[in-house]
Structure 1
């Protein structure tokens, strides 16, 4: 018998993608959606939407495909409808790490999973996979954490996550804290911050120094291709001595000396609380 999975927020932008994957994989799917737009999106895909009570009844796994700032509230509201042993599966570490999940239900399993998204460098992607930057068409790795519940439930959480984000190349196991360090820490506070600065730097080249914007963008993207490949082991790391000297010269002017603290559990928890509560 197919495993029963309820998805709350099934018709949302994020929720629809995972719901469609579970539907196609043949799960006993309960697509819970309260919005008219989301219901219409599900109907167009041949997926029937249900109300919360119907969706939760007998569900083995409940996926909270919801904004981080409402996960705690919704989890608290639905907890009394869930039988012992039910798994709450959250798609991001922020809410669990901000400690908003019900504390009075130690008999529930809390599981967190998140996709890595398709890698920059792959020797296997082809056709439409090459322009799939988010995942779902191109293969990607995922990261999973069992926050609370029996060890045997880890395999169940992985099964659902691998179905939602298929095709999956590898599943990495981490703790919830480690997942929070990866996101929001590594991917958003650090990487996205630097990428945003690079985009602003291209505009600076164009607006302040008159360099054609397309030339500046092509120059930067091409160099990123080479430099990321070298620094992350996709090609031999062979920068010139001059480039390495300039690396240290630039870091001293751009980076805060204590930048590594952005990945510390203390700061990552503050970031998670900012995401969930809108304040630290």
Structure 2
């Protein structure tokens, strides 16, 4: 018999995405959603009825916490006494586990699984896949997973569940929780999201200075496409001397000398403290 999964936060934005993919699997799934709006959404969109916490946790094998980081500690502590030894608790982000918010139950398995999201450069041809920017729907995406505690044999189950909830899958990477925290919030949010917001602010400034909005947007996104293709070795090529000089002096103007310290463990920890 296939494993039983209890999905907490099943009616939330992420929970519904996971519920859709779990419907296609052979897992036995119990959906937990306290909010009336979320319960209605699951029923109307997917025909799913929610169950109570005790029913969901009865003889459960995997508990997925599709809930905000700020609630991971509270909810996991509430359900831990109800879980049998060997149960897997899966979070969808490394923040709360990294911050030590999971209960001190050495007999539980803790697993973290997080999507990479579909890459900008891909081979998708179908319209639905090309427009699936988040993943877990039509476009292939890679995933990252970490077995935080538990027997090494448990990794296969965690990865199998992760591949199901985030399908379709491109590649699957096994990391540590610390490595996952370097990727997010470090690489993806502190660096990538921040610099993308800076680029949007810069585009808005060019518009303020008189450049037509659509022209500025096309110009920026087009250059992001080709410059990114060269920087990330998607195509062979090299920048002009003028572009290289602009990068050299642009970094001095835009970036602090010590900006790479955002990847130091204490800075990652402080960022996660603010998040959780």
Q: Same fold (TM over 0.5)?
A: yes
> How far off its partner does 1:126 sit?
2.1
CA distance in 2, matches of 1:110, 1:237: 44
Kindly report which structure 2 residues correspond to 1:1-280, keeping only aligned pairs within 5 A, or say none: 1-44=1-44, 45-103=46-104, 105-136=105-136, 137-207=138-208, 209-276=209-276
Answer yes or no: is the 8 Å Cα contact 2:124–2:139 preserved in 1.
no
Secondary structure, aligned partner of 2:152: coil
Preserved contact between residue 125 and residue 138 of structure 1 (Cα < 8 Å): no
Moved more, 158-167 or 228-237: 228-237
CA distance in 2 between partners of 1:98 and 1:125 (Å) = 40
Distance 1:205 1:234, change over 3 A: same
Deviations for 1:77-99, whole angstroms, at most 9, x for unmatched residues? Answer: 10000000000000001101111
* Number of residue pairs matched by the alignment: 274
User: Any gaps of 5 or more consecutive residues in structure 1?
Assistant: none
Mapped to 1, the partners of 2:39 and 2:72 lie a distance apart of 20
Gaps of 5+ in 2: none
Moved more, 18-27 or 133-142: 18-27
Structure 2 length-normalised TM: 0.98
**TM-score, normalised relative to structure 1:** 0.96
Residue 236 of structure 1 and its aligned partner are, at CA, apart by 1.1
Moved more, 150-159 or 23-32: 23-32
Contact 2:7 2:15 in 1 (8 A): yes
| SS state at 1:120 partner | coil
For 2:152 and 2:13, locate their aligned partners in 1 and report how far apart those are by CA, in whole Å: 31
